[in-house]
Structure formats: structure tokens, C-alpha cells
Amino acid sequence: MKYSEISHFSHPQHKLRYEFTEFPFKCDGCKEAGIGSRFRCSTCDFDLHQHCAVPSPYSLHHPFYTKCSFQFFSRPPGDVPRYCNACGRDVAGFLYHCRDCGFDLHPCCAKLPVVIDDGEVKLYLYRKVSSPCHRCGRKGRSWSYRSTCKKYNLHVACVKDMLVENWADLCSNVNEHRYVGSRTRIPTLKNTVNVQRKSKGKVKKCCEVAGLGVQFIVAAVLGDPTALIAGLVGILISKG
């Protein structure tokens, strides 16, 4: 269901209006980065991811945790520091929490699409993969998106690391309005795909195509898998 304007408990002063932004923002609910769909109070410069503004009204169930029933919380329960079981980052605001198992998920992590598919690029979300991540070179660590050929992997945690490391550059480019109107089709990202020289044929082609889907992963982690902002994502990829 789409809402153009909502009242939200976290910002009772004013109503929040739905808008789509091509610029990065920090969600005042979960405290994580965002882009694309959001609910905003321009008077107070207050922003919420769509997933934070309109959480699941009932228990949330995730295919990776079949025995868990996640409830939405406005802040982490208890006094012990908590972390997201999807990306491994600290939980500092809104979250989904399973009382029985103690698992936590950022709202946007909880809603990550299991399959990212634009008709050509198809990437699958895995809880664990045995192959190393193409950015950090490590295994495990967090959930990962993997190509159809299973040779291309990218940690959800690594995508968030890219955002944190380059946040200043992203914001400075927003202030300079260098990327206004830069929504385009998926850019060529061949330099981000570490394909081994011995890889040939279908495997190499699969990895090259998967590299083109990195933008989808970044957009999904930011809370809106439909937000294809090539200019901003290009900054992250070029420095990854």
C-alpha cells in the first residue's frame, strides 16, 4: 500500500510526506544510510526509510530464520549492545527483534529481496556462502548476494562499509549538485569484478554480468531496490 503522507510516532510534530530522492540520506529511525523512497519532514530535516516508516504491522517471518517471529521495535531491547544478524553492523535505532532467539535485523536488511532480477541480471541472497567476497576477500561475515554461476559474491556488510567509507564524498557531490538527473541504466562495472584469468566461457561471462548488478545490491541495502542512481553508486564502486 502506498502512502503520500503519514503521521509517525517518532516525529509527532509534523506529518511526513513520501518522496523519492536521488541523494543519500541518514534515516532518523534505524540510523542507517538510505536512498530512493523515503518519508520526510522538510521543516525538521527528518527522514525515514519507507521500511522504517511503514513497518510490518504483524510478526515478520524471514526464510533464513524459519523458527523466528520478528517484532518491530523502536529501539534495541535491553542494555547490551546489539548487532544486525544480516549485515553485522550495530543496531542503534529501529529494528526487528525475535524475543525467543535474540536475533536482530535492521528494517531494510529484513526486507532485502531474496532475488534481484532486472530481466538480465539475477543475484540471489544467501545467509552463508563458502566462496570469498569479491570486495574483502573473506568468507562468512554477513549475508551475501551471489551470482547464478556462484562465482561472484558480495557481502551485504561490505556494501555498507562502502557507504560509510565514502559518505563524505557522497554528500559533497550532492551539495555540488553534480549528479542531478543522473538516473540511468546500469553502468558498466567490469573493473569491480575480480575474474580469475583462468576463468573462461560461461563462468567468466556470468561474473561479468553479475558485476553489472552491483548497483541493484547497493540500492537494495539502502532501502529501495528500485532506485537506480548510477552517479552516486558509481562513486562507491570506483572506490570499492
DSSP string, 12-70: EEEEEEEEEEEEEEE-TTT--EEEEEEEEETTTTEEEEHHHHS--SS-EEETTEEEEEE
pTM for this structure? 0.77
Q: Which three cell numbers stand for residue 142?
A: 554477513
What whole-number percentage of the chain has pLDDT above 70? Answer: 69
Please tell me which residue, 169 or 5, carries the higher pLDDT value. Answer: 5
Region of residue 137 (phi > 0: left; psi between -120 and 50: alpha; otherwise: beta): left
Q: Name residues whose C-beta falls within 8 Å of residue 210's C-beta, 6 or more positions apart in sequence.
A: 121, 123, 147, 148, 149, 152, 193
Q: Give 206's pLDDT tier (boundaries 50, 70, 90).
A: low
Average pLDDT estimate for 203-208: 53
In this prediction, residue 86 carries a pLDDT of 95
Residues facing residue 155 across a β-bridge: 144
Q: Is residue 115 a contact partner of residue 80, using CB atoms and an 8 Å limit? A: no
| pLDDT for residue 226 is more than 80 | no
Cα angle 233-16-54, degrees, rounded to a multiple of 5? 75
Average pLDDT estimate for 61-90: 94
| pLDDT for residue 184 is more than 50 | no
| pLDDT for residue 84 is more than 80 | yes
The pLDDT tens digits for 87-119 are 999 999 999 999 999 999 999 999 998 888 766
| pLDDT for residue 161 is more than 90 | no
What whole-number percentage of the chain has pLDDT above 90? Answer: 40
List, edge to edge, every strand of the sheet that includes 5-8. 5-8, 11-26, 33-41, 46-49
- E strand or H helix that includes residue 8: strand 5-8
| pLDDT for residue 61 is more than 80 | yes
In this prediction, residue 33 carries a pLDDT of 87
Q: Is residue 214 a contact partner of residue 102, using CB atoms and an 8 Å limit? A: no
Please tell me which residue, 111 or 140, carries the higher pLDDT value. Answer: 111
